[in-house]
Amino acid sequence: MARPKQQDARREELLRAARAVILRRGLHATRVRDVADQAGVATGTVTYYFRELDDLFDLVFAEAVERFCTLREQDAASRPDAREQLVSLIRTGLPTGPDDELCCLLYEFSPQARRQPTDARLRRELYGRQVDLYIRVLGAGAQAGRFTLRRPAAEIAANLVALEDAYGYHVIAQTFMTRETAEQHLFGYAALATGDSTLTV
Amino acid sequence: MARPKQQDARREELLRAARAVILRRGLHATRVRDVADQAGVATGTVTYYFRELDDLFDLVFAEAVERFCTLREQDAASRPDAREQLVSLIRTGLPTGPDDELCCLLYEFSPQARRQPTDARLRRELYGRQVDLYIRVLGAGAQAGRFTLRRPAAEIAANLVALEDAYGYHVIAQTFMTRETAEQHLFGYAALATGDSTLTV
Amino acid sequence: MARPKQQDARREELLRAARAVILRRGLHATRVRDVADQAGVATGTVTYYFRELDDLFDLVFAEAVERFCTLREQDAASRPDAREQLVSLIRTGLPTGPDDELCCLLYEFSPQARRQPTDARLRRELYGRQVDLYIRVLGAGAQAGRFTLRRPAAEIAANLVALEDAYGYHVIAQTFMTRETAEQHLFGYAALATGDSTLTV
Amino acid sequence: MARPKQQDARREELLRAARAVILRRGLHATRVRDVADQAGVATGTVTYYFRELDDLFDLVFAEAVERFCTLREQDAASRPDAREQLVSLIRTGLPTGPDDELCCLLYEFSPQARRQPTDARLRRELYGRQVDLYIRVLGAGAQAGRFTLRRPAAEIAANLVALEDAYGYHVIAQTFMTRETAEQHLFGYAALATGDSTLTV
DNA sequence: AATGAATGAGATTTCATTCAT
DNA sequence: CATGAATGAAATCTCATTCAT
């Protein structure tokens, strides 16, 4: 009983270290040595736990996906009605700013998907769970008479997630848009698609 | 006068080679040797023309941005009216499929933006020119009485570009969505936002 | 009394494991980890029992030498007369084929002799015991009037062992000669040197 | 024309260096770094010329085989008659002593044959050329009436090469036999098999 | 007695860069 | 201009060995 726990703790530690290095240096510039230094262990230790560094990266990504989705699910669940839930989803879907660690992490892994099957799978999961969330909330709002959906729920949900994705990237890369503008645009679309004009920032 | 031309030709050649390698192996896995092999020259030659490999990459990216924007601008310009121009923009904005070379290239550079200033600038240009295109078309359509904009043109334009971006990524990475579905969703939004219900695939 | 027995059993186990790995991977490619895996114990256990891996290897070699010599001595001893004993020696002196485990093992250690004193000593013993065997049988055959030695017994014995050695190597490495041909050549020499023309395969 | 020569010179240089290190440290203990140090170049240079160190080793072995065979062929060819040629072959077939570099080199590669196809091929060549030499000399001697072969020439030749091999190993490894004794035994066999009793040391 | 997590020395591998030609 | 041989820094990989349990 004792050993496995200790091992898991060490794995957690390396995962934390990898996360920190990825955020600081970028996924592609992250070396075994960096992770080892960050965790305060020998490079051999990292190799001992993760024969392939990519296995560790997969774990970091999986954990980030899980955390991001759970956060949103829980925050939405804590809201009283569909409108509030939709507002919650839009708000938690965008990075708080260029330094939002969880979102930065997720973006580090985006470009991997084209070449790494594990990443593609996780990305699909990430996307799927978010679309499902939106679909559920849109359905509930329509049911309750609060929303009048102008387009199929699945389309609206997919579009909202896509907007989050694209704007999230701009917020983090500081290429075009601040979180505020992004939020306004998302609310604009939500209002239009649900017929609920009270949906504003 | 002769020499510069020859030099430019050689630079073009290396640029083409780099493009091919980036598509095949990914931006981060592209080495001087790969580019040299692809171009059929010595490694020293690559270094000779591009002291920093990143300078070559920047050129590849800049060229891709220019080509992508020009293509869309020209295709849109060749259409008779605002509706057709909007259709053109949506169609040329999405990758034809997972093998769309130009789009793949653009996506290879996306994740760089957060850390490389040159890439951030290019990405801003890429985004700006596309949003402008949409704004112009939306404005023209509204002017002509064809579109009844339900939201500010700038917001609609930004949203359309964002949807293209996000869906384009999914089409290329084959993570969630085919080009067909992506197109449907974009047309769905365009119809909603412009009040032109004839906007369908 | 109980402990030492248990310890000896464990040492036997490791010896068996080492033998298997050496045959499979070759002496130089045999690592502590391989032996541990093969024996189903932890790497620490191997080190615990054999501070130096070479000590284990020496044991494997010594055991192989002992087994090989004893086998031949016993098989020869079980024959009724000198001629039959000589036939036995020639037959047990060659590998049965490329997969003869005991012979393969002995050949793994051959090249060590030049650099490792322990191996040189064992090799000397291996050679000495075999030459002695032949000398005894040749002497007995001459005494009994069966053999008419054309050369000194020591020379004939040394030559027979040398031929076994060299041909054994070719049989195992499959470089030149099958066991059958090798046997013919040995019998040819034996017939010539002892004057006993009935010595054939 | 200049470049290839220079490259070949460098390859020769590395070959020489490898040879020296193999003799000093043994084939299995020879590292890229050792060869580089011995040649006075960077480790990268060795890798540049020989991606796989085994390729270099193969060359060293091939060159040794060639040199050994040529030496014997030439020395034998320089003798006036079959008897002198046979004497030459026996003499050049044994190491001059434990420090005979060429023979030491050949023995370093012996154990490889079981696992490395290239080495097996070279070893076959080495053996084949020597047996051929002996067969030719034995045939000439028989033809000339000098030898009366008591056994088939092919068998005698094979046995002589086998004796050389086995005794050569003992001379080098200093496990049992000096060169003098080995030579006596070989002459003893030669005298017996050819009926030429003048064949002595 | 036995373990196996953890180490870190030492080996290889990779590759941008230099430089004589 | 262009080359490509040669470099060596930097990264990874391998693995015997240590040591707390």
Q: Is residue A201 part of a domain?
A: no
Of the residues C34, C51, C68, which one is the last residue of a structural domain? C51
> What's the pLDDT band for A1 if we cut at 50, 70, 90?
very low
* Cα–Cα separations (whole angstroms), residue A64 to A109, A170, C200: 10, 19, 78
- Could you say which residues of chain C have pLDDT below 50? 1-2
Residues 24-43 of D with CB under 7 A from strand E: 31-33, 43
Answer yes or no: do B26 and B117 share one domain. no
- Subunits with 3+ Cβ pairs within 8 Å of D are C
pLDDT value for D46: 97
- Cα–Cα dist C90/A9, whole Å: 63
Residues A88 and A124 in one domain: yes
Residues C93 and C179 in one domain: yes
What's the confidence (pLDDT) of residue C110? 82
Residues B163, A165: C-beta atoms closer than 8 Å: no
pLDDT in tens, B73-82: 999 999 999 9
* Separation between Cα atoms, residue A104 and residue A117, nearest integer Å: 21
For strand F, which nucleotides have at least one atom less than 7 Å from a protein CB?
Answer: 1-9, 11-21
Instruction: Return the pLDDT at D1.
Output: 42
Within-domain flag for C68: yes
Average pLDDT, stretch D146-172? Answer: 97
| Structural contact between residues D60 and D18, judged by C-beta atoms closer than 8 angstroms | yes
pTM (whole model) above 0.75: yes
- For chain D, give the mean pLDDT: 94
Q: Which of C51, C73, C88 is the last residue of a domain?
A: C51
Percent share of chain D, pLDDT over 90: 87
Q: Is residue B90 part of a domain?
A: yes
**Structural domain ending residue among the three candidates C33, C51, C69:** C51
Tell me, what's the pLDDT at C61?
Answer: 95
**pLDDT at position A4:** 58
Which CA distances in Å does D177 have to A151, A181, C68, C124, D88? 97, 92, 21, 10, 20
Does the beta-carbon distance from C166 to D170 stay under 8 Å?
A: no
Identify whether A187 is part of a domain.
yes
CATH number for position B66: 1.10.357.10
Domain for residue B200, yes or no?
Answer: no
Residue-wise pLDDT for D12-57, tens only, equals: 999 999 999 999 999 999 999 999 999 999 999 999 999 999 999 9
Estimate in Å the CA D33 to C1' E13 gap, whole number.
13
Kindly state whether residues B31 and B116 are assigned to the same domain. no
Q: Do residue A111 and residue B114 have CB atoms under 8 angstroms apart?
A: no
Question: Is C116 inside any structural domain?
Answer: yes
C vs D: CB pairs below 8 A: 107
Q: According to the model, what pLDDT value does residue C118 have? A: 86
C1'-nearest nucleotide to the CA of D9: F5
Q: Do A95 and A17 share a structural domain? A: no
Which of C17, C189, C176, C184 minimizes the C-alpha distance to C98? C176
Whole domain around residue C88: which residue ranges?
56-194
CA distance A119 to chain B (A): 9
Tell me which chain C residues have a C-beta less than 8 angstroms from the C-beta of D151: 188-189, 192
More confident residue, B49 or C118: B49
> What integer is the mean pLDDT of B38-57?
95
Residue D156 sits in the same domain as residue D96: yes
Is position C15 within any domain?
yes
**Same-domain check for residues C106 and C151:** yes
Residue B30: what pLDDT? 95
Higher model confidence: residue B176 or residue B142?
Answer: B142
Percent of all residues in chain A with a pLDDT value above 90, rounded to a whole number: 87
pLDDT at D116: 83
CA distance D143 to D146: 8
Q: Specify the nucleotide whose C1' lies closest to residue A31 (CA).
A: F11
Quote the number of domains for chain A: 2
Q: Which residue shows structure tokens 């890369």?
A: A173
- Are both A16 and A94 inside the same structural domain? no
Contact D159/C189, CB-based, under 8 Å? yes
From the CA of D65 to the C1' of F12: give the distance in Å: 37
Interchain pair A193, B193: CB under 8 A = no
B10 CB closer than 7 A to any strand F atom: yes
> pLDDT tens, D79-106?
999 999 999 999 999 999 999 999 999 9
pLDDT tens for each residue of D105-150:
999 988 776 788 888 899 999 999 999 999 999 999 999 999 999 9
- Identify whether D201 is part of a domain: no
Q: How far apart are the first and last CA of chain D?
A: 51
Statement: residue D2 has pLDDT above 50:
no
Q: What is the mean pLDDT of residues A158-168?
A: 97
Residues of A in contact with B162 (CB under 8 A): 162-163, 165-167, 185
- pLDDT for D176 equals 86
A2 — pLDDT class (breaks 50, 70, 90): very low
Residues A36 and A26: their CA atoms lie apart, in Å, by 16
Q: Identify whether residues A13 and A84 lie together within a single domain.
A: no
Chain E positions with a protein C-beta closer than 7 Å: 1-9, 11-21
DSSP states of B91-141: HHHS-SSTT-HHHHHHHHHGGGGGT-HHHHHHHHHHHHHHHHHHHHHHHHH
C81, C129: one domain:
yes
Q: Do both D44 and D61 map to the same domain? A: no
Per residue, the 3-state secondary structure of chain D, as one string, reads CHHHHHHHHHHHHHHHHHHHHHHHHCHHHCCHHHHHHHHCCCHHHHHHHCCCHHHHHHHHHHHHHHHHHHHHHHHHHCCCCHHHHHHHHHHHHCCCCCCCHHHHHHHHHHHHHHCCHHHHHHHHHHHHHHHHHHHHHHHHHHHCCCCCCCCCHHHHHHHHHHHHHHHHHHHHHCCCCCHHHHHHHHHHHHHHHHCCCCCCC
The whole-number pLDDT of residue C100 equals 97
Are C150 and C182 found together in one domain?
yes
